[in-house]
Structure 1
Amino acid sequence: MSRVMYLNHQCSVMEKRLLKALRAFGWLDAWPSQAGFLLEEIGVSPEHTFLFARLIKGLMMAAPDFELLGPDSQFVSRDELNMMVALGGVTRNKPGFSDDPNPFQPVAFGGLLEACGSALREDGIILKTRSTLIPASNIPDYEESIQPLRKQAPLVTARVKAVESLSPLVRKVVLSGRGVKPYKALQPAQWVKIFLPTEKPRAEGRAFTIQSHGSMGDELCFEVALHPGGVMSQWVQQAKAGDEVHLSSVRGGLWPLDPSKWLLLAGDETALPAIKSILKSLPDDMLAYVFVEVENPGERQVLPISERVLVQWVYRSAEPSGAPEGLLGAMSSTPFPHTSGHAWLAGEASMVRALRQRLLRERSIGVGGIQAAGYWKIGEVDHRDLAVG
């Protein structure tokens, strides 16, 4: 058997889609932030996405020679097929699977593969039946059975300096203190998680984009969109100067842009802080199209735009919050350039997914040019999207 084989001859349709998503986690130039969407499109629950990210991260750390091909490759490597064998054994709930000889058992990746396979089975995804290709060989053990994606940095303490109303449904929060000085953003659309003090075993925390910094680098400004029942919404409406919060490390951020291409920015009010920071960073001569969905005209904000930036505000009608029709309709009726461009999308997860799919089908933007993140999801508390970073 050759080292690399034709994908169509070896894998089912579902396995091809799963491989594309798993490969995306290791494709550092453009693909990782799309992997969560690719998995969700084949039926993998968002809460299971981090398991598969951990699996690929582990393989890349422990076995640098593991042959993970590009997302669009028409071939499949022997290493990838062995991974599918291991995952498939669990999806079929094969009796005695943990005793089967395969290149990922018994210690280092066994628990992680079984967790991923169980997640697939729980989501109704059953992989193709095939025999183990090669015996255990080139994948070393982990020091721990499952490695985290990143080391957790200690939280930093900050205090509320001011709270300001930007619109009926948006509050600006300024934090200050010695702990915020290292937080000067290196790129637009970076974010931190804000945790509220609590006596509970686990603090309540939510992610917010760093909107701006004080002139001396000793302040951080955030914008909080209010919605009924939200933990941070309730807090910000009662917050006062001196109140203490805790901050995680900085994450995420906009991918590097080619200034010769045009840019599309689209999202709801939760994406506005990031959109503002991105617009501030653009060259004056870069062509950009901005689409923002808010509740009503009273929620419009002043954006830092140049003559080459075209802005369209979309107001929700009787549709449920986060419904994609408004932004989809506005984008569909706008003539974009026929040349290749970039796109940055953020907001409610189902809306972002619909926008991304529309761009891939109808516009001259390739997958590698779309950065998309579900900041929140209807019906979920503290929705986590790998695309956010």
Structure 2
Amino acid sequence: MSETTLPMRVWTGSVVRTEELTPGMRRIVFGGEGLRGYASTGVGDEYLRLIFPERRKSAPRLPTVTNGCLDYDSIDLATMRTYTVRGFEPATGEVTIDFVIHDGGVAAEWAKGAEPGDLVGLNTPNGMYDAPGGLEWQFLVADCAAIPAAARLIEGAPGGLRTRAILEVPGPAHHLDLTAGPGAEVTWIYGGNGHGPSRLEQVVRSLKRPVGGVGYIWVAGETRELRGVRKYLRRELGLPSTAYKTVGYWTDGAERWRNRYEALDDATKTELMAIWESDADLGDIEIRYDEQLARLGL
């Protein structure tokens, strides 16, 4: 179940069809000749960058690939956002992305009006879910932004793997039909997602882990909400970073956050980046980084 890495490439996908899943989520399927050669890592929470055109109905300006990495010098970073791959169909080469719809934001505004023939850029996907070998049980906890990844992990879970998923949405109208196997249990809770206080940390703290057996805890949602989750898993439970994954999928007030970060002096930014160069356990590194951001008011 470990991460699979593919050579970096960039494609242009054309909207094939759209579907309204809930009042807050729209599915868009991409295909066309521009996606020829696209491949999936097979990791349930794989993600990619979508590059949107500067003007609707035009082609996006794509980054180049230099030494196996995306080179962003040729594009406006404001046109790019990161999204989960909800599905990939090898027979047709179609890539499915589920968009959380909200007011404002380059991606959400584009997705609201997307129709067949519209173009976006896509790069090679990568995944973060990396459960240990011999996995016997897992918890998946997510808010709306991370539900596409959680849904794919639920649907792809082997039959003998005990899977409990707790998914936070604004209300009952935001439920999705998920194909869960016999070993999976899905619970919907309400709150968070910019509509009220999130319950993700409360949920994680309430989880009753099985006694014995190899387990994995995957939690994804609003970036700052996960700070308390990380501290609980690493500091209070003492879990190694190989036993869990916490992923910030979005930041409440992202533009304000970015502006405040950019206003930091170069020395402070260098200190922040240096935290990641430590050889400590990844869980400790993440908490040190969170704590420093909090001290800076970020």
Q: Point out the structure with the larger helix share.
A: 1
Q: Point out the structure with the larger strand share.
A: 2
Offset at residue 332 of structure 1 (A): 3.2
Greater shift after overlay, 208-217 or 265-274? 208-217
Asked if 1:219 is matched to 2:219, the reply is no
Partner deviation per Cα, 1:57-96 (whole Å, 9 max, x = no partner): xxxxxxxxxxxxxxxxxxxxxxxxxxxxxxxxxxxxxxxx
Residue among 332, 340, 352 paired with 2:226: 352
Higher relative contact order (CA 8 A, sep 6+): 2
CA contact (8 A) 2:131 2:242 kept: no
Between the two proteins, the alignment pairs up a number of residues equal to 235
Distance 2:226 2:150 in 1: 14
Asked if 1:246 is matched to 2:102, the reply is no
Task: Calculate percent identity across the aligned residue pairs.
Answer: 24
Q: Summarize the Cα distance change of 1:327–1:256 in structure 2 as closer, same or farther, 3 Å threshold.
A: closer
Offset at residue 357 of structure 1 (A): 2.1
Offset at residue 214 of structure 1 (A): 2.5
CA contact (8 A) 1:259 1:286 kept: no
Give the match for residue 231 of structure 1: 106
Alpha-carbon RMSD across the aligned residues, in angstroms, is 3.0
Offset at residue 374 of structure 1 (A): 0.8
CA contact (8 A) 1:356 1:370 kept: no
Q: Summarize the Cα distance change of 1:253–1:335 in structure 2 as closer, same or farther, 3 Å threshold.
A: closer
Residue among 28, 35, 43 paired with 1:173: 28
Partner deviation per Cα, 1:115-135 (whole Å, 9 max, x = no partner): xxxxxxxxxxxxxxxxxxxxx
Give the match for residue 315 of structure 1: 190
Q: Summarize the Cα distance change of 1:354–1:336 in structure 2 as closer, same or farther, 3 Å threshold.
A: same
Offset at residue 252 of structure 1 (A): 2.6
Offset at residue 234 of structure 1 (A): 0.9
State the AA in 2 paired with 1:379. Answer: G
Give the match for residue 306 of structure 1: 181
Asked if 1:335 is matched to 2:208, the reply is yes
Matching of residues 23-42 of structure 1 within 5 Å: none
Give the match for residue 163 of structure 1: 18
Q: 2:226 aligns to what SS in structure 1?
A: helix
Residue among 250, 253, 275 paired with 1:376: 250
TM-score of the aligned structures, taking structure 1 as reference length: 0.54
Asked if 1:195 is matched to 2:51, the reply is yes
Offset at residue 364 of structure 1 (A): 7.4
Structure 1: gaps (5+ residues): 1-28, 31-151
Structure 1 ranges of 4+ moved more than 6 A:
none
Give the match for residue 139 of structure 2: 264
The structure whose Rg is larger is 1
Distance 1:363 1:304 in 2: 32
Offset at residue 343 of structure 1 (A): 1.2
Offset at residue 163 of structure 1 (A): 1.2
Partner deviation per Cα, 1:214-265 (whole Å, 9 max, x = no partner): 3514100000001221211111111110011111222234214434431111
Asked if 1:289 is matched to 2:140, the reply is no
Give the match for residue 117 of structure 1: none
Q: Summarize the Cα distance change of 1:198–1:282 in structure 2 as closer, same or farther, 3 Å threshold.
A: same
CA contact (8 A) 1:263 1:287 kept: yes
Distance 2:103 2:165 in 1: 27
CA contact (8 A) 1:322 1:348 kept: no
Q: Summarize the Cα distance change of 1:321–1:183 in structure 2 as closer, same or farther, 3 Å threshold.
A: farther
